[in-house]
């Protein structure tokens, strides 16, 4: 069972939901939490502890100056503008390279070989009993979030119960996170911003044919527009968390609602049951 | 020696273009013979990496100097590595730019 | 023209609220760009009157002609993006995953692959009370929002070259869209919040900014929700020699105005507004002292 937690808008409480859901589940069965928000991962702040890190690399081309006759076909082929063939050598712009391997295929002299370049890390830790935390971290200055997300997810591929915490937005990082999920929780807040971005995110999960439910966070009780939208689009509202200054304080200092207010565990267990129902898994 | 001018149109009377990678035309003038070649920029609608691609076009046509308004980081790196000198010119026509280039009145950029 | 980007690292810190207020508080002739193209919300506060829209095309995508496909699978073998799927003995392209590299076209023995333009968004150009606004809508699920961010900025610069200031509402994160946003800007204002996540993300996004040109300023939104962490942010900024130019208190008026679809500058008796006004004055001083980009 793979559950993705996503949202169009940032800061709606995605990580809060993922962290509390994972914490609650870990009390009963082993759970793996994957932080796919590799640009700004935060779950390790809620679950600190030592971990083992490995590098994430992508292959980029290198040019054998003896074999290369500067024919220029690699530069012509590359649609990303990553290769410029000069009069005496080949110039690579590694930050434009998408690692498609096309230059290597097109080179008639076999003068191109790839070598790995680091773009981030994946760290695996066991911060509390019953929980494995996998954190993808994009190196600062690297634009390529997607391969790091893929690497983080791969570390949990064989685990039976996995939660993915997505980065905000509706672009490639979110798609990569949602790929292969059995269901998705869309976390929103009761503001026009939250609703606008929920609409976009709902479009994506609909397009990907992933069953989805909604969590309304920091609700001030005026959620009618959100409820109407969910009803119209057949999205079940699975949980509503009221706005409470004290919750904000707990969250801000890296605390867990379900640990400090154990009465919330039942709500999160019910949320999990809802996820299983969405995914079509018998309870 | 060949010099490339970025232009909004295909002729020497066209207005010069400030952008390099997304200039509509490259007008390449052989300073010694006076021969003029006009090349429509195939990368103008390109999604990304247009700077290095445009630089490649100049390199493969044996251009030795570029006169343009602004040249982005990657394009500049490729041009400098290829030994192509970059000169700044804004406003006026390609003809004006050419005249200034011949008088050695243009400022070298970067 | 000077260029200022409001960014945050962490999402949901109040970046858009601050940007909309600054649009009304900063002096001079503005052009405004919403570069948070995944979740463009600035328009919801600036009451834009649309002038025109144009489609945005990202990288081309591959398409396989089913009549020509031999079903050999060379495309699938060589595609590194898992964008080729078997489909009843032949193959088709999953456009969502296609990066547009054209390797499949290169290896196809039957010339069955074409590269086709792909509309990945829409760019909107509108009028507001405070100058022209450029915002975009990414087709949900479309890849590479960084390219669209660049196009939004370029649209603003090309259509309003005589403006005094380009004001940008940036995306969260540190990846491709953020890097596209801050490249070429003079100054970034990082709006953070007093949470351990906010501080952590602030540190990371500042590290990215330092690899580029712009000067960095910080403001703390809802600082009074966690005074201890707000204090930690203070100390960190001092240590990093980053000016902390504003501390905005938690204020229910903020949500109220967002609901009304107006900037906080329209609120009455709002402590948050008072803080944002003071911040805008300091920001103006920093803008005055940074050298403007030519061209």
How high is the pLDDT of residue A144?
86
Residue A52 placed within a domain: no
Say yes or no to pLDDT of C144 above 80: no
| Domain regions of chain B by residue span | 2-108
| CA distance, residue C171 to nearest chain B CA (Å) | 20
How far is the first Cα of chain C from the last one, in angstroms, to the nearest whole number?
8
Asked if B48's CB is within 8 angstroms of C59's CB, the reply is yes
Are A219 and A93 contained in the same domain? Answer: no
Are A249 and A134 contained in the same domain? Answer: yes
Residue A123 placed within a domain: no
pLDDT per residue as tens digits for the range C96-122? 889 999 999 999 999 999 999 889 899
Q: What ipTM did this prediction achieve?
A: 0.89
What's the mean pLDDT in C76-82? 95
| Candidates B46, B47, B74, partner chain A, best to mutate (most A CBs within 10 A) | B74
Rounded distance between C-alpha atoms, residue A28 and residue A30, angstroms: 7
Q: Which of B46, B52, B59 sits opposite A93 (nearest CB)?
A: B52
Task: Give the helix/strand (H/E) hosting C266.
Answer: none
Say yes or no to pLDDT of C209 above 90: yes
Are A114 and A169 contained in the same domain? Answer: no
Asked if C177's CB is within 8 angstroms of A42's CB, the reply is no
What's the mean pLDDT in C47-76? 95
Residue B84 contacts by C-beta under 8 Å, 6 or more apart in sequence?
Answer: B55, B58, B59, B63, B64, B65, B66
C209 to chain A: nearest residue by CA? A141
**Residues of A in Cβ contact (< 8 Å) with C146:** 143
Residue A241 placed within a domain: yes
Residue A53 placed within a domain: no
| CA distance, residue A173 to nearest chain C CA (Å) | 9
- Residue B45 contacts C where some CB pair is shorter than 8 Å: yes
A50 C-beta neighbours (distance < 10 Å), count: 8
Q: Which of A182, A130, A125, A124 is nearest to A24 (CA)?
A: A130
- Work out the percent of chain C whose per-residue pLDDT is above 90: 85
Q: Which two tokens stand for residue C233?
A: 């942010």
Q: How many domains does chain A have?
A: 2
* CATH number of the CATH domain containing A225: 3.40.50.300
All partners of chain B with 3 or more CB pairs under 8 angstroms = A, C
What distance lies between CA A3 and its chain's CA centroid?
Answer: 11
Topology (CATH) of C2-57+120-289: Rossmann fold (3.40.50)
Greatest alpha-carbon span in chain B: 37
Are A180 and A132 contained in the same domain? Answer: yes
How high is the pLDDT of residue B110?
65
What does pLDDT average to over chain C? 93
Asked if C173's CB is within 8 angstroms of A100's CB, the reply is no
Check if C2-57+120-289 and C61-117 are the same fold: no
Are A91 and A69 contained in the same domain? Answer: yes
User: What is each CA distance from A166 to A4, A13, B20, C150, C215, in whole angstroms?
Assistant: 7, 11, 38, 24, 30
**Among candidate residues A74, A100, A118, the one where a domain is terminated:** A118
The domain C61-117 having CATH identifier 3.60.20.10: the answer here is no
How far is the first Cα of chain A from the last one, in angstroms, to the nearest whole number?
12
How high is the pLDDT of residue C294?
42
Q: Is C158 helix (H, G, I), strand (E, B) or coil?
A: helix
Are A98 and A136 contained in the same domain? Answer: no
Burial class for A185, CB neighbours closer than 10 Å (0-12, 13-18, 19+): buried
Are A143 and A260 contained in the same domain? Answer: yes
Are A95 and A156 contained in the same domain? Answer: no
Say if CB A242 and CB A257 are below 8 A apart: no
Which residues in C116-135 are b (16+ Cβ under 10 Å) and which e? eebebbbbbbbebebbbbbb
Q: How many CB pairs under 8 A join B and C?
A: 15
Are A98 and A18 contained in the same domain? Answer: no
| CA distance, residue A77 to nearest chain C CA (Å) | 8
How high is the pLDDT of residue C292?
55
C295 to chain B: nearest residue by CA? B70
A86 to chain B: nearest residue by CA? B82
pLDDT per residue as tens digits for the range C276-287? 999 999 999 999
C294 to chain B: nearest residue by CA? B70
Are A134 and A217 contained in the same domain? Answer: yes
Topology (CATH) of B2-108: Nucleotidyltransferase; domain 5 (3.30.420)
Are A103 and A180 contained in the same domain? Answer: no
Interface of A with C in 95-114 (CB under 8 A): 98-102, 105-106
How high is the pLDDT of residue C96?
85
Are A67 and A144 contained in the same domain? Answer: no
What's the mean pLDDT in B11-16? 94
Q: Outline where DSSP puts E strands in chain C.
A: 2-7, 30-34, 49-57, 61-64, 84-87, 90-93, 113-116, 119-128, 131-138, 165-169, 187-192, 215-221, 244-248
Asked if B90's CB is within 8 angstroms of C57's CB, the reply is no
- Residue B48 contacts C where some CB pair is shorter than 8 Å: yes
Rounded distance between C-alpha atoms, residue C41 and residue A107, angstroms: 46
What's the mean pLDDT in C225-243? 96
Q: Which two tokens stand for residue A104?
A: 């290597």
How high is the pLDDT of residue C25?
97
Task: Give the dihedral of Cα atoms A37, A40, A45, A46; nearest 10 deg.
Answer: -40
Say yes or no to pLDDT of B47 above 90: no
Q: Which of C13, C38, C107 sits opposite A169 (nearest CB)?
A: C38
| Domain regions of chain C by residue span | 2-57+120-289, 61-117
User: What is each CA distance from C81 to A101, A172, C75, C97, C107, in whole angstroms?
Assistant: 11, 12, 11, 6, 15
Domain containing A79: what range? 58-118
**Weakly modelled stretches of chain A, pLDDT under 70:** 282-283
**Residues of B in Cβ contact (< 8 Å) with A79:** 49
* CATH number of the CATH domain containing A75: 3.30.70.20
Asked if B47's CB is within 8 angstroms of C59's CB, the reply is yes
How high is the pLDDT of residue C295?
36
| Candidates A46, A198, A252, A255, partner chain C, best to mutate (most C CBs within 10 A) | A252
pLDDT per residue as tens digits for the range B58-102? 999 999 999 998 788 889 999 999 999 999 998 899 999 999 999
**Residues of A in Cβ contact (< 8 Å) with B77:** 91, 93
**Among candidate residues A118, A142, A163, the one where a domain is terminated:** A118
């Amino acid at each position: 069972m793979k559950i993705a937690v996503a949202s169009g808008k940032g800061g709606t409480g995605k990580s809060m939901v993922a962290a509390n859901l994972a914490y609650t589940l870990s009390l009963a069965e082993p759970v793996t939490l994957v932080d796919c928000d590799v640009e700004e991962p935060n779950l390790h702040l809620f679950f600190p502890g030592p971990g083992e890190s490995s590098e994430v690399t992508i292959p980029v081309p290198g040019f054998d100056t003896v074999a290369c006759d500067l024919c220029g076909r690699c530069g012509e082929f590359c649609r990303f503008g990553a290769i410029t063939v000069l009069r005496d050598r080949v110039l690579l712009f590694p930050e434009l390279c998408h690692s498609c391997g096309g230059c290597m295929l097109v080179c008639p002299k076999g003068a191109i070989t790839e070598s790995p370049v680091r773009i981030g890390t994946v760290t695996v830790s066991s911060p509390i009993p019953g929980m494995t935390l996998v954190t993808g971290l994009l190196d600062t200055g690297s634009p390529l979030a997607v391969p790091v997300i893929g690497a983080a997810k791969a570390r949990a591929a064989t685990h039976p119960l996995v939660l993915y915490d997505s980065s905000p937005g509706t672009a490639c990082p979110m798609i990569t996170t949602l790929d292969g999920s059995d269901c998705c929780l869309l976390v929103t807040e009761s503001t026009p911003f939250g609703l606008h971005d929920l609409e976009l995110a709902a479009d994506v999960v609909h397009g990907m044919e992933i069953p989805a439910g909604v969590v309304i966070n920091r609700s001030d009780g005026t959620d009618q527009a959100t409820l109407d939208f969910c009803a119209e689009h057949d999205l079940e509202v699975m949980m509503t968390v009221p706005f409470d200054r004290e919750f904000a304080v707990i969250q801000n200092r890296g605390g867990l609602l379900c640990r400090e207010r154990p009465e919330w565990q039942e709500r999160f267990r019910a949320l999990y049951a809802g996820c299983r129902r969405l995914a079509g898994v018998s309870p | 020696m060949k010099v490339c001018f970025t232009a909004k149109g295909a002729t020497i009377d066209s207005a010069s273009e400030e952008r390099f990678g997304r200039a509509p035309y490259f007008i390449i003038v052989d300073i010694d013979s006076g021969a003029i070649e006009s090349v429509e920029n195939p990368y103008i609608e390109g999604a990304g990496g247009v700077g290095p691609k445009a630089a490649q076009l100049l390199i493969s046509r044996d251009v030795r100097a570029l006169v343009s308004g602004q040249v982005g980081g990657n394009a500049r790196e490729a041009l400098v590595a290829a030994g192509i000198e970059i000169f700044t010119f804004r406003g006026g026509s390609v003809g004006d730019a050419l005249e200034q280039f011949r008088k050695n009145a243009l400022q070298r950029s970067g | 023209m000077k260029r200022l980007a409001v960014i945050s690292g962490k999402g949901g810190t109040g970046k858009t609220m601050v940007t909309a207020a600054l649009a009304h508080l900063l002096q001079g002739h503005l052009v405004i760009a919403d570069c948070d193209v995944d979740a463009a919300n600035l328009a919801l506060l600036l009451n834009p009157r649309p002038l025109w829209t144009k489609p945005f095309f990202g990288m081309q995508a591959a398409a396989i002609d089913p009549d020509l496909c031999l079903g050999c699978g060379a495309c699938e073998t060589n595609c590194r993006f898992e964008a080729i799927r078997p489909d009843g003995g032949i193959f088709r392209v999953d456009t969502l995953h296609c990066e547009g590299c054209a390797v499949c076209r290169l290896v196809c023995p039957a010339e069955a692959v074409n590269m086709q333009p792909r509309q990945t968004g829409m760019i909107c150009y509108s009028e507001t009370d405070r100058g022209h606004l450029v915002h975009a809508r990414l087709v949900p699920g479309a890849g590479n929002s960084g390219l669209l961010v660049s196009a939004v900025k370029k649209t603003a610069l090309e259509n309003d070259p005589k403006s005094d200031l380009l004001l940008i509402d940036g995306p969260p994160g540190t990846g491709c869209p953020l890097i596209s946003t801050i490249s070429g800007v003079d100054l970034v204002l990082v709006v953070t919040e007093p949470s351990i996540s906010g501080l952590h993300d602030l540190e990371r996004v500042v590290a990215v900014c330092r690899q580029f040109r712009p000067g960095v300023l910080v403001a703390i939104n809802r600082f009074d929700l966690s005074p201890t962490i707000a204090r930690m942010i203070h100390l960190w900024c001092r240590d990093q020699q980053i000016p902390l130019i504003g501390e905005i208190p938690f204020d229910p008026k903020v949500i109220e105005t967002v609901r009304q679809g107006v900037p906080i500058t329209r609120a009455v008796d709002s402590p948050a507004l008072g803080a944002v006004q003071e911040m805008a004055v300091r920001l103006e001083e920093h803008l005055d002292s940074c050298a403007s980009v030519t061209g």
